[in-house]
Amino acid sequence: MANSTVELADTPIAAAAERASQILTPGGAGTLPRPATRRIMTVANQKGGVGKTTSAVNLAAGLALHGLGVLVIDLDPQGNASTALGIDHRRPGIASVYEMLLDDVPLREAIQQSPSNERLYCVPSTLDLAGAEIELVSVVARESRLRNALDDEVLDELGVDYVLIDCPPSLGLLTVNAMVAAREVLIPIQCEYYALEGVGQLLRNIELIQAHLNRELHVSTILLTMYDGRTKLADQVAEEVRSHFGSKVLQTIIPRSVKVSEAPGYGMTIIDYDPGSRGAMSYLDASRELAMQVLKENAK
């Protein structure tokens, strides 16, 4: 009987259960250093299917689990980030990012707390946002609407340390608004063919925004996603990205995972859906790395 108990403890399921127990135990994840000033980060890549929204919500959940206050702004009309954070964004009359951008609804009315963590907040997206690109064209200071809507007083009251802005897979006015509002850009890059396709155009757009609209904007973080260790290609892509972007690339690589893809369908992040999984552990590691960048900056 003793041998069978030992064997059971050594199974992958038991190991995952042990990891999940450690993560979900209050204080088990530990705390991370708070940044001296609030970090506002745009999560952008105009190429679809690279794990952009998945990365935004799971990094946010990881940071919140470690004791940091996080706000996710869902700028994608599909509203997938809102769904993953358990926010009801289809309710009639809900105040959303659309009303913030076009109707001057204050942040205080649009912000919602995620049911998964009291430190995790979201400004949801609704289908109305699909027409915002056209409607913003004639609005005064159209590129700065989001920056002007981010009320520091409200963010301070809620103890928000990080604002993560999930962009649509395009380089239109919504993405421009995100980049004008942010100081940092986080680019998820998938470990697959054509990984760097379109990244050059994204970098050129960032340079234009730096020159004309937001001098503080810079690419601070690259996150490698959808890694499949069974292929040589994944390693080649990772090596190419690291050689190009250097220390901006997080050491943590997010593996391709069915569980990560399933989680939003249940209105959950992977950290809530399957906390002991490789995907959850990877996003927790990536969130720690992201937070520890603060210490590296202070050491310079």
Please give the model's pTM, rounded to 2 decimal places: 0.89
Residue 31 pLDDT = 80
Residue 227 pLDDT = 92
283 within 8 A of 62, measured Cβ to Cβ? yes
Residue 25 pLDDT class (50, 70, 90 cuts)? very low
Of the candidates 5, 286, 14, the one whose C-alpha atom is nearest the C-alpha of residue 164 is 286
Q: Which residue has the higher pLDDT, 127 or 252?
A: 252
User: Which of left, alpha, beta for 54 (phi over 0: left; psi -120 to 50: alpha)?
Assistant: alpha
Q: How far is CA 118 from CA 65, 112, 130, 160, in A?
A: 9, 10, 29, 11
Residue 4 pLDDT = 46
Of 9-18, 91-100, 241-250, the poorest mean pLDDT is in: 9-18
Residue 18 pLDDT class (50, 70, 90 cuts)? low
Residue 47 pLDDT = 84
Residues in CB range of 157: below 8 A, 6 or more apart? none
Separation between Cα atoms, residue 237 and residue 106, nearest integer Å: 43
Q: How many CA atoms lie within 13 A of 21 on its CB side?
A: 6
Instruction: Calculate the average pLDDT of the chain.
Output: 88
Residue 48 pLDDT = 81
Of the candidates 248, 266, 206, the one whose C-alpha atom is nearest the C-alpha of residue 45 is 206
Residue 186 pLDDT = 98
Residue 265 pLDDT = 84
User: What percent of the chain is predicted at pLDDT more than 90?
Assistant: 68
Residue 298 pLDDT = 62
Residues in CB range of 69: below 8 A, 6 or more apart? 119, 121, 158, 159, 160, 161, 162
Which H or E run includes 132?
helix 132-136
287 within 8 A of 59, measured Cβ to Cβ? yes
Residues in CB range of 150: below 8 A, 6 or more apart? 40, 107, 163, 181
> Burial level of 296, CB count in 10 A (0-12/13-18/19+)?
exposed
User: Rg (Cα) of the chain, in Å, rounded?
Assistant: 19
Residue 17 pLDDT = 47
Q: Which residue has the higher pLDDT, 179 or 267?
A: 179
Residue 106 pLDDT = 97
Residue 50 pLDDT = 87
Of 29-38, 52-61, 138-147, 266-275, the poorest mean pLDDT is in: 29-38
Per-residue pLDDT tens for 188-230?
999 988 888 878 889 999 999 999 999 999 999 999 999 988 8
Per-residue pLDDT tens for 123-155?
999 988 989 989 999 998 899 999 999 999 999
Beta pairing partners, 72: 122, 164
Asked if pLDDT for residue 300 goes beyond 70, the answer is no
Q: In what order do the strands lie in the sheet with 218-227?
A: 112-113, 120-123, 70-74, 162-166, 39-43, 184-190, 218-227, 249-255
Instruction: Give buried/exposed letters for 213-248 (b at 16+ CB in 10 A, else e).
Output: ebeebebbbbbbbbbeeeeeebeebbeebeeebeeb
Per-residue pLDDT tens for 104-119?
999 999 999 999 899 9
